[in-house]
Amino acid sequence: MTLAEIESLLDKSFAEARAALAGAANPAALEAARVQFLGQKGFLQAAKKSVGQLASVDDKKKAGKLCNDRDRELQDVYQANLDRLAREARVAELAQRQDITLPGRRSRRGHRHPLSTTCDDILAVLQGLGFEPAEGPEVEHDFYNFEALNIPRDHPARDMQDTFYVDAGGAEVVLRTHTSPVQARAMLAAGKPPLRVSCFGRVYRKDDDPTHSPMFHQIEGLYVDQNVTFADLKGTLQLFAERIFAPGVRVRLRPSFFPFTEPSVEVDISCFACGGTGRGGNVAAEDGRCRLCKATGFIEIMGAGMVDPEVFKACKLDPDHVTGFAFGIGVERVAMLRYGISDIRLLYENDERFLAQFP
């Protein structure tokens, strides 16, 4: 067969094949047309076999390209009709199941969870202050959770934290009761100051009431360097409170006790509902007293203090050359204050009626 005969064969059969493949009205007819024109006994295969019989290399190239072009065009026509028939079959199937002429239902947009929003806001403020995020395991060794933080086995502070213990074949393993173990790990890993980290994660304690949960979230900050003072801590807390709660909010520090800081303080902020007056505001009771701060004018939000020298020793730092401060805050506590939530359990029930209030 010559090049001219191959061209004639392709031209003669191409239009017929295209019409048959494009005009097939059902899958069976389309498959029959595919076998007839694109199968092993079709005209394209016959033409391709004849290409090898041509004497001229140029003729073989021209004939081979022509066969491939025609094959590609017919494959495209076949696939287009196959897709069309599949769509029509799907529409027909749906029409039998439901009325597809009805207007569609608009999907409801979800809302960010108040805990996620609060957490992101706190971490963003800390990152703006130079605190780099750090993470640690939730299933923690007793050394990092207690002993490295100046809470030895016989320390009375252990009674303050109802701990979940893990059976680890005799090893002292607990579900961490705070995120402070991340601070200990960070100091041991750093080796030398400066160090400025924020620690976020889940913590676990045996609590279960309207204001406490056996699982909750904490965020802590740690700053260690030479000549870090209590004034640095107070300035950091003041800026943090203004960014998270309200501009101009006042910070009050009350002496307290934490085994891993000395001196230690409880941090209060002036009530943003009543302006620190203890009366009026948008949550006032019938007698005019502010219910949010219980008419005291201040709300407790976190604990803080200067890192205890014993903690530095346990973390291989020299307390004669470095100082530092740490503070920790419960994310749920902040969310409940910001959004006026009275029961912590509402944050975990995934009730859409509750979550829809926080667009």
> For residue 100, what pLDDT is reported?
65
Same domain, 172 and 308: yes
Domain that holds residue 160: 114-355
Residue that is last in its domain, among 97, 125, 155: 97
Structural domains in the chain (count) = 2
Same domain, 78 and 126: no
Same domain, 140 and 173: yes
pLDDT at 170 > cutoff 70: no
pLDDT at 5 > cutoff 80: no
Q: How far apart are CA 123 and CA 219, in angstroms?
A: 8
CATH number of the CATH domain containing 209: 3.30.930.10
DSSP per position, 113-144: -HHHHHHHHHHHHHHHTTPEEE---SEEEHHH
> For residue 159, what pLDDT is reported?
65
Residue 9 lies in a domain: yes
> For residue 208, what pLDDT is reported?
67
Same domain, 184 and 265: yes
The overall average pLDDT reported for the chain is 84
Percent of the chain predicted with pLDDT > 90? 34
> For residue 160, what pLDDT is reported?
59
> For residue 69, what pLDDT is reported?
81
Q: Could you tell me where the DSSP H helices lie in 52-131?
A: 57-97, 114-128
pLDDT at 257 > cutoff 80: yes
Q: How far apart are CA 207 and CA 124, in angstroms?
A: 29
Residue 107 lies in a domain: no
| Average pLDDT estimate for 50-69 | 77
Same domain, 64 and 130: no
Percent of the chain predicted with pLDDT > 70? 92
Same domain, 61 and 185: no
Q: Kindly report which listed range (211-220, 226-235, 320-329) carries the lowest average pLDDT score.
A: 211-220
Structure confidence at residue 125 as a pLDDT band (50, 70, 90): very high
Please choose, from the candidates 193, 250, 254, the residue with its C-alpha nearest in 3D space to the C-alpha of residue 225. 193
Same domain, 264 and 118: yes
Q: Phi/psi at 155 (nearest 5 deg)?
A: -75, 135
Residue 104 lies in a domain: no
Residue 299 lies in a domain: yes
Same domain, 87 and 191: no
pLDDT at 240 > cutoff 90: yes
Q: Kindly report which listed range (157-166, 225-234, 317-326) carries the lowest average pLDDT score.
A: 157-166
Residue that is last in its domain, among 67, 97, 127: 97
Most confident listed range (105-119, 269-283, 305-319): 305-319
Whether this model's pTM surpasses 0.75: no
Same domain, 162 and 302: yes
For 186, other C-beta atoms within 10 Å of its C-beta total 20
Residue 349 lies in a domain: yes
Contact assessment for residue 205 and residue 213, using Cβ atoms and an 8 Å cutoff: no
Same domain, 326 and 285: yes
DSSP per position, 285-302: -TTSBBTTTTTSSEEEEE
Residue 102 lies in a domain: no
| Average pLDDT estimate for 74-81 | 86
Residue 108 lies in a domain: no
Residue 160 lies in a domain: yes
> For residue 234, what pLDDT is reported?
94
Same domain, 129 and 80: no
Residue that is last in its domain, among 97, 129, 148: 97
More confident residue, 326 or 275: 326
> For residue 67, what pLDDT is reported?
78
| Helices 114-128 + 230-244 axis angle, to 10 | 140
Structure confidence at residue 191 as a pLDDT band (50, 70, 90): confident
